[in-house]
Structure 1
């Protein structure tokens, strides 16, 4: 029971933190937060689907992969994470009146929050939705930190999107991904339980 509430707390915190970074700092400047957004843009461009529906298709497809490779439990937790993130974005954008700041300052701040939130989810074995599922599969199979595969998957999607649609925000998207995935690996590498051990304090 303790483990359930502990994991539930980290999942809710991770979803809310990344939603805060996306909703208040990245999305107002139209900076993509990851590969799922890029894939949704491509679906919208080629099939003329609504952006919300396109993003739902991408996330649903990734959930199918999560069930196949990571199990039903991971898929359920991923659904929780996606829901918390979506609600957080809506809440922060509609309740906090933040003036549009400098794009580069907001990019750094938003990326730090995004990476922290995603890192909290991935360290609990929960995907943040979208291509985070693929990164988690690769991380699990190869026993490596998920930040690097997440970065290269997103970069590939950004370049494809830029080639087909626009290069305007590719540099900002790449910098955001570099910062956020570095934070992801840092958060995933932290052993939280060490904070409470005397042995760790003596080191």
Structure 2
């Protein structure tokens, strides 16, 4: 029971920290926080799918992968992380207003919070939603840290999105992913083998 509540608290904390970085620092500058956002923009651009529904569709598809490869329990934890992240983004955007902004300072701060939240989630064997599921599957199968596959997958999506929409977003998006990836791996290196070799197995 203690392990359940401990993991529950860490998942909620990780998702809230992630939502704080996204909602307060990254989204006000339209900086994509990950591959799911880029895929949603492309679906909206190509097929005129409402971006909110497109984001849900991408996350739902990733959850199906999580259920198949990571097990039902991992999928439920991922659903919790996605829900808490979405609610925290909305809450923080409604309650916190930064009067003077600098895009590069906000990018750095937001990416640090994003990486911290994602790192906590992945360290618990829980995806942060979107393409984080794919990164977790790759890391699980190869017994490696998830930061690098997460960066490579998101980078490819950002390049595709920038080539279709506008090239200006790619520098900020990739820089944000690079910073957050460093933080993810720093968080995940803590008790790496104990956390990952047992936590990722199908339940």
- Shorter chain as denominator, the TM-score bin is over 0.9
For 1:199, the equivalent position in structure 2 comes to none
Correspondences of 1:66-145 after superposition (within 5 Å): 66-145=66-145
For 1:56, the equivalent position in structure 2 comes to 56
Tell me how far 1:100 sits from its aligned partner.
4.9
Q: Which runs of 5+ in 1 are unaligned?
A: 193-203
TM-score when scaled to structure 2? 0.93
For 1:28, the equivalent position in structure 2 comes to 28
For 1:40, the equivalent position in structure 2 comes to 40
For 1:195, the equivalent position in structure 2 comes to none
Asked if 1:19 is matched to 2:19, the reply is yes
Q: Any idea what SS the aligned residue of 2:98 has?
A: coil
2: CA distance, partners of 1:10 / 1:189: 16
Tell me how far 1:106 sits from its aligned partner.
0.3
2: CA distance, partners of 1:100 / 1:2: 43
Give the stretch that moved more between structures: 76-85 or 158-167: 158-167
Aligned partners of 1:114 and 1:180 also within 8 Å: yes
Aligned partners of 1:28 and 1:100 also within 8 Å: no
2: CA distance, partners of 1:119 / 1:129: 13
Tell me how far 1:191 sits from its aligned partner.
3.0
Q: Which runs of 5+ in 2 are unaligned?
A: 193-203
TM-score when scaled to structure 1? 0.93
Describe the shift of the 1:163–1:130 C-alpha distance in structure 2 as closer, same or farther (beyond 3 A). Answer: same
For 1:200, the equivalent position in structure 2 comes to none
Aligned partners of 1:23 and 1:89 also within 8 Å: yes
Aligned partners of 1:138 and 1:149 also within 8 Å: yes
Give the stretch that moved more between structures: 96-105 or 80-89: 96-105
Asked if 1:65 is matched to 2:52, the reply is no
Q: Any idea what SS the aligned residue of 1:98 has?
A: coil
Tell me how far 1:13 sits from its aligned partner.
0.3
Tell me how far 1:164 sits from its aligned partner.
1.1
Aligned residues: 192
Higher gyration radius (CA): 1
Q: Any idea what SS the aligned residue of 2:168 has?
A: coil
For 1:150, the equivalent position in structure 2 comes to 150
